[in-house]
């Protein structure tokens, strides 16, 4: 492992806004985000596959009356977003280092008010279908932790993943209010994305990919 990465991991250990294995809150945060971390009762938005946390930070800058949690398995990526939150005094931001598959170990039923999934790995191979973050096994997890009528939003450049998500969502009876666009920057839905562009979005837009966006709720 590179020295730079080790330095970031060491810094993460000292950062209060990173909840990760080995820290006291990691094992007792479930159901206690408002009380033990944010110390307010504002709604919670979670960004899954947050990488450097562009949505988490971007939305936190705009909305001081909500709380934001970026979730990613890679510590060196969340180090970046966590650093911005520290520099800018964004106390309503946290980062959780864990697998998305384990979300229900960190959130009580209905504890999350909104989920953003930003440019997740597309996992195009058939044998990886279960690892796509819109596979039914993930939807069952989101359904548990999201509040009644909470929105789940997906933004991606990847056509295969987007069409797969639509196929899965349209086949379910517990999904309502599904709205989508295959080109968000030429769509009425554009304002919902707050003009925030992630690192991967910048990269794929530059390659000429249209950015797709959808949102839905569970019945």
Ligand X SMILES: C[S@@+](CC[C@H](N)C(=O)[O-])C[C@H]1O[C@@H](n2cnc3c(N)ncnc32)[C@H](O)[C@@H]1O
Q: Which two tokens stand for residue 106?
A: 């960190």
Closest CA to 201 of 116, 142, 74, 134: 116
Provide, rounded to whole angstroms, the least separation between the CB of residue 148 and ligand X.
Answer: 25
**Is 188 one of the annotated active-site residues of the chain?**
no
Should residue 100 be labelled a site residue for ligand X when binding is judged by CB under 6 A? Answer: yes
Should residue 20 be labelled a site residue for ligand X when binding is judged by CB under 6 A? Answer: no
Element (H, E) at 151: strand 146-156
Should residue 76 be labelled a site residue for ligand X when binding is judged by CB under 6 A? Answer: no
Contact in structure between 79 and 11 (CB atoms under 8 Å) = yes
**Residue 97: φ, ψ to 5°:** -95, 105
Should residue 42 be labelled a site residue for ligand X when binding is judged by CB under 6 A? Answer: no
Question: How many other CB atoms are there within 10 angstroms of residue 99's CB atom?
Answer: 10
Binding residue count for ligand X, defined by CB under 6 A: 18
Should residue 103 be labelled a site residue for ligand X when binding is judged by CB under 6 A? Answer: no
Element (H, E) at 202: helix 199-206
Cβ-based nearer residue to ligand X, 44 or 78: 78
Should residue 49 be labelled a site residue for ligand X when binding is judged by CB under 6 A? Answer: yes
> Which candidate in 27, 36, 121, 174 is catalytic?
121
The pairing of strands 212-218 and 146-156 is antiparallel
Q: What residues between 130 and 149 interact with ligand X by CB under 6 A?
A: none
Q: What residues between 179 and 218 interact with ligand X by CB under 6 A?
A: 198-201
DSSP single-letter state for residue 116: E
The residues carrying an active-site annotation are: 121
Which residues are at the interface with ligand X (CB under 6 A)? 49-51, 72-74, 77, 99-101, 118-121, 198-201
């Amino acid at each position: 492992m590179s020295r730079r990465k080790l330095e970031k991991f060491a810094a993460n250990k000292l950062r209060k806004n990173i909840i990760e294995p080995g820290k006291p809150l990691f094992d007792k945060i479930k159901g206690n985000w408002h009380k033990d971390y944010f110390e307010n009762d504002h709604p919670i938005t979670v960004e899954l596959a947050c990488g450097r946390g562009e949505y988490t930070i971007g939305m936190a800058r705009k909305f001081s009356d909500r709380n934001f949690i970026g979730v990613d398995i890679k510590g060196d990526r969340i180090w970046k977003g966590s650093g911005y939150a520290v520099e800018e005094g964004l106390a309503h931001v946290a980062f959780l280092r864990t697998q998305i598959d384990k979300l229900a170990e960190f959130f009580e039923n209905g504890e999350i008010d909104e989920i953003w999934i930003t440019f997740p790995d597309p996992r195009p191979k058939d044998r990886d279908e279960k690892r796509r973050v819109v596979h039914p096994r993930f939807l069952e997890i989101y359904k548990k932790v999201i509040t009644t009528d909470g929105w789940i939003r997906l933004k991606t450049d990847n056509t295969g993943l987007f069409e797969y998500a639509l196929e899965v969502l349209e086949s379910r009876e517990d999904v309502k209010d599904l709205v989508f666009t295959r080109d968000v920057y030429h769509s009425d839905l554009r304002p919902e994305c707050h003009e925030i562009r992630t690192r991967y979005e910048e990269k794929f837009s530059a390659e000429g990919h249209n950015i797709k966006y959808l949102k839905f709720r569970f019945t």
